[in-house]
Amino acid sequence: MAWIVLVVSGVLEAVWATALGKVDGFSRPAPLIVFVAGLVLSMVGLAVAMRSLPTGTAYAVWVGIGAVLTVAYAMTTGGESVSPLKVAFLLAIVGGVVGLKVIT
């Protein structure tokens, strides 16, 4: 169950990170609300998962999921360029996250 909570929490990290990029100096209320809600839920989920998972592993997985999804979203929406090397390095992060799950 901790792994499911951790994955959902990682997805929420991508949500708040993306919303943070859209708050425009905290002047846009809708992205600000999404940012705050996503941040709180993501942190709560990480804290819950860390009750039964090692701190370093949980944090690395959380950050990895959030980073990959944030960049993938930006590449999909045209906010960031796509290149074979960028995709390869993102896949390396995914491989690291999967590897941590396998050995934990």
Q: What is the pLDDT of residues 69-87, one digit of tens each?
A: 999 999 999 999 999 999 9
pTM passes above 0.95: no
Residue 101 burial (CB count, 10 A): 14
Cα(18)–Cα(4) distance, integer angstroms: 21
Given this model, what pLDDT does residue 104 score?
84
Q: What is the pLDDT of residues 43-67, one digit of tens each?
A: 999 999 999 999 999 999 999 999 9
Show the tokens assigned to 102: 């396998």
